[in-house]
Every structure is written in structure tokens, then in C-alpha cells.
Structure 1
């Protein structure tokens, strides 16, 4: 162990912590393996009890080096799913994924947080899966409902109002009448917001927060602030899901250094191809032509799939890819299916100009 800790690389990669029988206790990833792995074994580090128990049981280390942090994330995800280490809990539990489902009810629709998708149910709108815990999503939805005064404590219309009505958290849908129609209009706007089609409800909540602050009702302003943060959490996750469900063909380029780039070809939640290319001293047209052939070869064999709902076993890789695309570490190009089908090398090569690094200026003689 001392020898392995003393010879750790400072590159990205994945580490597997093992017990005395070679069983995998924990899989982790890091941008800098040396710093991350050694940090577990610093006696003065403020470790949790879980980490202390893990370290006490570690008898061996296996290191798998990658070229990029993105590859380390993807490899970690695959290994956790494959080996299910005892100290990696998140991706082992099928109940770790939840959905928001809006179903017809007895008198008015109900917003539910559940582990089971409502996709395909008549009259239901379904969003997710979300990787946050059920409690986190429940708290987010509850906060939004309370701020919008649609947190009815009843499941159907009644002669008497629910407790939340007296607390100012329910518009009185439980009593029927115009309050139900107003509630349904708000639910329609909530659906449009989660689907990314209309942000007017979000903007209205922002205005209510500002108004509360102006009248020095800071408790109400804080509730709106927290609810807006919850909306962002849900909307951002839905944006990732919608993006992945389009089954786009993505060419992603990351610069490893001034002389080398790495190309990834990604479809949905899978990396179909990856390769390093030296760029220093090469004519740009030669590099474009080589990568164009890789794109046609990588995506040409991949069948075009229609858009389809994102499954639970796809969500983790999809989130990693989507986050990577939003980062400054890489640049990406969406390759239209018609370019691939027509084997349109010219359009692909022109598109690559937007993501490939510019050639370094040549030094003049005598400089």
C-alpha cells in the first residue's frame, strides 16, 4: 500500500479500493488521482465515520488512468453498476430515481412524487427520472405548491376547507368552484415550465419575491427564493432529459495539451468512439478529413433511433455527458442524421471548424 500510494499518477482516472480477498469496497474517480487517493490516508484529515471504516478495511488499490476527467466519470459509473461495491450506494438502489407525475383526480389533478413513472397513463403528465432523493424532490414540489397556494391537503372536493386553506397555502380547491379552475390554470403553467416551454410562472414567482422584499416580509421572500431554487433544480434536470431523449449524434473535442486533442463520438448515453489526435504541425484540412472519416465510421454503423423516454439505467451516464457538454472543458458539434446518411463530408468538415483548435501560428525565420 505504501508503495502504491507513493507512486500514484497526478492524472485523471479511477481508483478501486479492495479488501484482503480482492473484493472491491469502493470505486472513486478524480481529476488528480495522486491528491485524491492520498487524502483518504492523511491521519489529520477530518474524515467521516464511513470513510474511516472504509480506510481501515482497504488492503489493496487498483488504478485505472484516463486521458480526461470525463472518461473517469463515465468509467466510475460503469464500474459501480457492474461491481456494486458496498461503499457505493447511490447507483445500486433502484429506488434512487423518482418522477413527478400529474394525474387526473377526483375533482382536480394531483401532483405526485413517486418511484414509478406515469409515462403512458391516460391524462397524466410525467417528468423525470430525477437522481435526487425522493425527499429532496418532495420538498421542492411542496415548497412550490405552498408559494403558489396550491398545496391542498384534500384529495377531493368537500363541503369544508382543508387545514392548508386556513394557513393560506390552499386557494380553496377543496371547496370546488372558481378556485378549481384557477388551480388547473396554474398546474398547466407548472407543466409548461417543467417542459421548458413557458417560464411565465417562474417570472411571476420572481416578482412575488421582489414584492415581498419591498414590503420587508423577508420570511416570504426567503420562501420564494427557496422555491425558485427548487424550480431550477427540476427544470435543469428536465432540460438534460429532453436533450438526451433526442438521440443526437455528438462529436466532442477536448484539448489534452497544445499538441493533442481527444475526440469522443456520443449517442444518447453512450460513448461510441474515442481517439487522440496530434494537431501540432498538421495541416488543418488533413485533421478535418481524418476526423470526418471517424465520424462517418462511428455513427454510420449506429442505427438512427426515434426519440424515446430516458430509462432509469441511462440517467447517470446521460447526466455526466450533459454536464460535460455545458462545461468549458470541451466543444461539441451536433451532426444531423441527414449528413451521416448522405455521407456529406463537406458539411461535416465545415462544422468541425467550429470545434477544432486553431492552428498555432508558425514562427518566422530568425525569430
Structure 2
């Protein structure tokens, strides 16, 4: 820690009271860099200046910059929270969560006739088009445009009309009935403009008025025996009903509610806020943070700051997990909103599904930042929650013991980094200390050898010198019970260790911990990832076991050659590495191998080629 003020700061902390209040960290220039609240000022502030090496990168950098601090005592923890929010708004400190409203404005564009299109745009241009808006939510605009184009079967392709009428076949959207097929040239300009007008009416006035108007038009067309037109109008009415009814069925209880979900990967955290108003998803916000730390603390900080900077405060805020100071934050939101605000952590049914939806949105946003798929981010995040890890396990090592008799006891180690196999980091182990099959003893040997190499190579941060975020053992709680104490004895007890339990069909069934099992079948993304890891480590270890068994059998067959015993056969394999290399060698090359003679090499050459 490059801060020569630490002795002064630690001494100053000793004089702090054990009362609630706010603390204000300043740098050398006197600029406020961080503001926090505390239930007991002395305990909270002192935590920054002891064991500084254990802080997250963000906190470490903040403490490194602290030159001095001030504090304000309050009458209660709630008053400390209110004061903290007020001070953060006034000073916008560098190391606090600051949510900037940089969304801008968005528009629905109806391009000029003839053959206009409906699109979502970020800017309003002087191009003769009609623009609806501005709207502050890109989500609302894109969703509205997408729904409208599907309901009214409007073209979304890049073809230019009428220049490209009849040129080429209609695209897939026409065949799946999401486009009326303007490109065929069978729709008049007047008919098309009527559809555009109906679509604009739908956007402006909503589904109810649009359905009433379309129903009247359908009845008139039917009375005039324009049955084809009446059928098209009927299909539009049905399409509107499908979309609106679909949303009402799924989100029936989300009348005035925000749903907040979080996802983490490596040092990045994303918070996604889904806003439901009148049983309909109307907006989505998401934010990316670096070095946010543990979610249990970060959730509360985010919620407090988010609603301090947003005036639209719903009656219910559903969150995807527990967080500190929940009752106090609920009281604060209620005071700010002027009506009762309830913080809720759904555990089942529809509410839980909505928090999962928010969490998946957060994972999807993280995937764009990390060049990973949304499913990969979600799988690591879900696995971390399931196993109670502090953060998503980016670097996972998995081990499996495989043997075909006592002569071919081996182990395989596979590595998954960011939920993908990292094959260049895979390792093979031949068991050296065991002469009878014993999976526990073999696993103990392998883990010991692996982490002895870690201590030798840790400065490189590569290969064996990299410490995993998670170890998965192919086996149950017995394996975990053997390896966890071993790692603790080696000073590596902070590495999480779990087992991968299989059913009688050799399929992943559960995660084993020391003393029990964690069911994972209901956690689909985590289950898929663990199954993939278990299948891969089994494949890798069994392949190595079979190849070694085959080599051992061939090694034994060499003892039939005049002049070759077990020691010389073993030396030959050590020299040539593979059967293929040995068979490809000339007689002279065989003779150059350790402990070989010309006569024995000739005998071996003849044996290899007689049996090839």
C-alpha cells in the first residue's frame, strides 16, 4: 500500500465513536472521494485501514488515495442513510456509485410515402418523415416498433419499393406471415398506405382503440362482401390480442412494480431494472460497474442511489437476492416516494421468474462487455449463487480419477475459463504413490502435486502458477471431505471445492459439498455448465487411461523380444514416447536408444514390423 498516511489515519480512527453516522474520505487536495454511512463509525472506518491487501481493487485504490477523513454523527442509522444520499448528490465523489442519466431521446419514425417504413431512430431529421416522440426509453421505442411491424405485417427488409417489385423471391418473413410481401408487387400504394395509417393509429392510441377501429372496418368490409379485406383485418385484430393477452398472462401481478436483477463476471457487475406499469413491461435500465464487490452489500447501495436519482418510485421493488440494511432502505424509499414502498425478494412462482428475467437481462448486457454469450455469463453467475461463492468463478479446474487395473491409474485435469474449455491448460497425471485402486488417495496425490507446482510457479500466473476460482471433483462428498482439509493444510483453504455427483446412468445429478448435496436440476444454466464440465473431464481422463493401458500392454509385449526385459521396455517408451514413433524408427535409431545394442535393435525392428 503506497500511502504513508496510514499510521495517522489508524490513530485517528481510535478516537471515533461507536455511534451511527457518515464518514467523508478526502484526498491530498481536500477533494471528497468517498462518502459512506455506518451503524458504528469506529468499526466501519477502521475496516478500511486494516488488512488493506484483502480489499477489492476499487477499495484498495480509494484507501491508497485517502489523506484524511471527517465524520458526522447522526441520531440513527436511518438518518445516516438520508444524510449519505444527500451528501453524495451534492459532492458526487469519485468512488461512490454514480448513476448518470445519459439515455438521450428516441423516436418512432414513419418515413414519407409512398411505401413508408416504421423504424426506431435516435435522431429527428428534417427528411419529410413523421416522427413520434421524443421518448426517453430506447427499450419502449424498439419494442413498440417491433410489435407494430409484426401485427401489421410491414416490411423490415432493405428492399427499395417500387424499384424491386418482382425481383427475387419473398424473404422468410413473408413465409412465416410476419410480412405482407410488398416485394411481390401485388399490393397497391393506396392499400399499403391504409395499413400504415392503421399502424400509426395503434402506436398513438394503443390496442383498445385500434381494435375498435379495425373491428368497424372489418364489419363494413364484410357487409360489402369484401371478404379478403375482412379476413386481413380479422388477422390484425387477432395479432393485437395475442400480443396484449400474452403480456397480461405473464405479468398479471406486476401492476406498479420494478424488478431488479444483478449479474457478475470477473470484475464487472451489471444491474438491470425492469419497469412494469399497468401489467406491462414499459422500460428497462441497465448499468455496468467495475469492482462492485460482494452483491449482498452492493445491491443495497445500488437501490439507494438508483431511487435517489429517479423520481418514478413504484409501490413494489422486487430484488433477486438479499442485501444489507433492507428495512432502513425500505423506510428511506417510502419517505422519498410519499407512499409505501415495499422491498421484496420473491422465492417462487411468477415473482421469482421475473427476477430471473431481470438477472438474464443483466447477464446479456455483460456478455456484450466481455465477448461471452449471455448463457455463459448467466451460467457462471447462477453457479456462484448456487454454491455461495463471492463472485462468478471465471477459472474452474475439474479433476477425475480413471483406472483400468492398478497398472493404469491416472487422473485428468480440465480447465474452463469464462465457461469455455481451455484445452491448452489441460493436464494429465500418472499416479505414482498408489499400487492399488483408491480414488481418495489418488485424488489426494494429484491435488498435492498440482499445488506444489503452484507454489513453485505462482509468480508467473500461468499454467500451474494460476490459482483457480473453483475446483470441481468428479465424485461425492467423500472426495470433498478429503481435499478441503488438504488444501487448508497447504494454506489454500480459500479455494472453493465441490464434487460432481452422477446418477446410476452416469449423468450429473447434484453438486456435493462437505456433509451434503446441492440439487442443481432446477438451475438450468448452471446444470448445463456443470454437466459439460463433468462430461469433459471424464472424457479426457478415460482417454488418457485407455491410451496408457494400450501402451502398457504393448510395453509388456516387447518383453517377448530377445534381449528386452521390463526395464529396457520401459526405457524404450520413455525415449520414443509413443508406439507410432517407435515403429517409425529405423534399425539404427532403435540402436541409439538408451541401453540398446545393435543385435537387440535388430530383433526389435523385426518384431515391430512383423506385428504391424
| Higher relative contact order, chain-length normalized (CA < 8 Å, sep 6+) | 1
Say which one has the larger Rg.
2
So what's the TM-score if we normalise by structure 1? 0.39
So what's the TM-score if we normalise by structure 2? 0.26
